[in-house]
Amino acid sequence: MFDSLPVLPPDSILGLAAACRADPNPDKVDLTVGVYMDETGLCPVFEAVQQAQQALVSEEQTKVYMPPQGDPDYLTGVRSLIFGEAGMAALGDRTSAVQTPGGCGAVRLGAEVLHAAAPGATVWVSDPTWPVHIPLMGSVGLQFKTYRYYSPEMKGLDFEAMLADLEAAQAGDVVLLHGCCHNPSGVDPTLEQWGVLAELMSERQLLPMIDFAYQGMGAGLDEDAAGIRAVLERVPEMIIAVSSSKNIGLYRERAGAVVFVGGDARAAEAMASQAVSAARRVYSMPPAHGALLAGRVLSSPALRSAWEAELGQICQRINDLRGQLRDALTTATERDFGFIGTEHGMFSFLGLSVEQAQRLREEQSVYMLDSSRINIAGLNANNLGRVVEAVASVL
Ligand SMILES: Cc1ncc(COP(=O)(O)O)c(C=O)c1O
């Protein structure tokens, strides 16, 4: 049966990371995959997570299945982060949530619920968006249209073009937005622009679906949720895909949640029930370990404040690196790299051509995507100078 089955190439981003791992150059720099790395190049385990893990290991009495909806502490915790305590109280029972294997699982189950409610729905995605959105949601059967978003000429958000494209959306269409730290550009709408988008989605009866994979890594936990909260003031329904991979550092544990806001309690319950049913068709119950750790961190006041402090330091380090890279590139090239300092989160397009990005990999062992998207958190005091010199040499 499988004799002529084609062997598929690796995912393009993961393939580049593998090429970097195989590169024997001791001075190679990996700026490909969106993983936070500290000054030593390590993707660390949060101290608060380590403490939660020690307690979990010593107290855990069973490995019986999780409830299909997931760990209640985790689901309450992620919603408190998105909506804030006041927002949670205001929403009351109009919100529900289902734990998923990472943010990918959340995007997928969100798409399943959209498809169950409106099988012909069109999803508007930013140009560019995180490439995995397309297979994750498209394989459910949803159609896509793109709205202009990042402008290479402006080195920022072309908001006029974004609005002009979304003006063509029909009632019932879905707008996929990145809640913060847009992947791949690092460019987010301002709070004022979020308000305009909310108004447009409300007037045109468009449904916001928010991919929220980087809360707390852009400007702060509340600051990064401000766009979502502004939309919720005007729009009655929403789907939010949460990942705990980055901001709680649980990448390999596969912890995430799809969060629903319905017009009333019945709608919120229906959305969650559809997500649980979709999970049952594919993998049944969610994985336990990561969500139990995150549930403990988010529900214990001491662990939560320790985690918030640690996340705040990570956010600060990313923003410091942005400033250092901006200044060093501007000095080395006499070009304007000011945009790096105004973006959010781990990503930025350096504005190189595909050929320049390839030369950097082949000739200098500096690995970035062909689009010249870099992971800012892959920089550190040891490699920043080398990266800047390499980029200047191909410009
Ligand atoms: C924009 C975006 N959404 C969702 C995810 C999903 O993350 P995970 O499934 O690893 O939690 C990622 C991961 O890189 C991402 O960049």
For 327, counting Cβ atoms within 10 Å of its Cβ (0-12 exposed, 13-18 middle, 19+ buried), the class is middle
Q: Which residues pair with 373 in a beta bridge?
A: 349
Residue 13 has a pLDDT of 84
Residue 28 a catalytic site member: no
- 87 CB within 6 A, ligand 1: no
Q: Is 245 in the pocket of ligand 1 (CB under 6 A)?
A: yes
User: 77 in ligand 1 pocket by Cβ < 6 Å?
Assistant: no
Rounded Cα–Cα distance for residues 35 and 347 (Å): 10
Q: What is the residue type of 320? A: D
Q: What per-residue confidence (pLDDT) applies to 120? A: 86
Q: Is the beta carbon of 216 within 6 A of some atom in ligand 1?
A: no
Q: What is the 3-state secondary structure (H, E, C) of the chain?
A: CCCCCCCCCCCHHHHHHHHHHHCCCCCCEECCCCCCCCCCCCCCCCHHHHHHHHHHHHHCCCCCCCCCCCCHHHHHHHHHHHHHHHHHHHHHHHEEEEEECHHHHHHHHHHHHHHHHCCCCEEEEEECCCCCHHHHHHCCCCEEEEEECEECCCCEECHHHHHHHHCCCCCCCEEEEECCCCCCCCCCCCHHHHHHHHHHHHHHCCEEEEEECCCCCCCCHHHHHHHHHHHHCCCCCEEEEEECCCCCCCHHHCCEEEEEECCCHHHHHHHHHHHHHHHHHHCCCCCCHHHHHHHHHHHCHHHHHHHHHHHHHHHHHHHHHHHHHHHHHHHHHCCCCCHHHHCCCCEEECCCCHHHHHHHHHHHCEECCCCCEEEHHHCCCCCHHHHHHHHHHHC
| CATH value of 65-299 in 3.40.50.920, 3.40.640.10, 3.40.50.1360, 3.40.50.300 | 3.40.640.10
pLDDT of residue 12: 81
- CB neighbour list of residue 257: distance below 8 Å, 6 or more residues apart: 70, 74, 75, 78, 97, 98, 99, 100, 106, 242, 244, 291
Expressed in angstroms and rounded, the spacing between residue 37 Cα and the centre of ligand 1 is 16
- Nearest residue CA, atom 5 of ligand 1? 103
Of 28, 30, 130, 307, the catalytic one is 130
Determine if ligand 1 sits within 6 Å of the CB of residue 290.
no
pTM above 0.95, yes or no: yes
Q: Give the tens place of pLDDT for each residue, 14-38.
A: 889 999 999 999 999 999 999 999 9
* Amino acid 10: pLDDT: 82
Q: How far apart are CA 98 and CA 282, in angstroms?
A: 15
Q: Is the CB of 249 under 6 A from ligand 1?
A: no
Using most ligand atoms within 8 A of CB, pick from 13, 37, 74, 104 the residue to mutate for ligand 1. 104
Ligand 1 atom closest to 254 (CA): 11
pLDDT digits (tens, 9 = 90+) for 173-232: 999 999 999 999 999 999 999 999 999 999 999 999 999 999 999 999 999 999 999 999
- Return the pLDDT at 66: 96
Query: Which pLDDT value is given to residue 55?
Result: 98
Best of 214, 240, 243 for a ligand 1 pocket test (most atoms within 8 Å of beta carbon)? 243
Cα distance between residue 159 and residue 37, in whole Å: 32
Q: 212 C-alpha vs ligand 1 centroid, how far in Å?
A: 8
Ligand 1 atom 12: the closest Cα is on which residue? 213
Q: Is the beta carbon of 258 within 6 A of some atom in ligand 1?
A: no
Tell me what pLDDT residue 14 has.
86
Q: Determine the pLDDT at residue 78.
A: 98
Atom of ligand 1 nearest to the CA of 251: 10
Is-cis flag, bond preceding 128, omega within 30?
yes
User: In whole angstroms, what is the distance from residue 19 CA to residue 358 CA?
Assistant: 12
Q: What is the CATH number of domain 12-45+304-394?
A: 3.90.1150.10
The structural domains of the chain, with segments of one domain joined by +, span 12-45+304-394, 65-299
d(CA 12, CA 46): 29
pLDDT in tens, the chain (395 residues): 999 999 998 888 888 999 999 999 999 999 999 999 999 999 999 999 999 999 999 999 999 999 999 999 999 999 999 999 999 999 999 999 999 999 999 999 999 999 999 998 999 999 999 999 999 999 999 999 999 999 999 999 999 999 999 999 999 999 999 999 999 999 999 999 999 999 999 999 999 999 999 999 999 999 999 999 999 999 999 999 999 999 999 999 999 999 999 999 999 999 999 999 999 999 999 999 999 999 999 999 999 999 999 999 999 999 999 999 999 999 999 999 999 999 999 999 999 999 999 999 999 999 999 999 999 999 999 999 999 999 999 99
> Is the distance from the beta carbon of residue 243 to the nearest atom of ligand 1 less than 6 Å?
yes
Nearest ligand 1 atom to the CA of 129 is 1
The reply to whether 12-45+304-394 and 65-299 are identical in fold is: no
Does ligand 1 lie within 6 Å of residue 136's CB atom? no
Q: Which atom of ligand 1 is nearest to the CA of 255?
A: 11
pLDDT of residue 185: 98
Query: Is 307 one of the catalytic residues?
Result: no
73's CB contacts (< 8 A; 6+ apart) are: 295, 296, 298, 299
Question: Is 124 known to be catalytic?
Answer: no
Cβ of residue 103 lying under 6 Å from some atom of ligand 1: yes
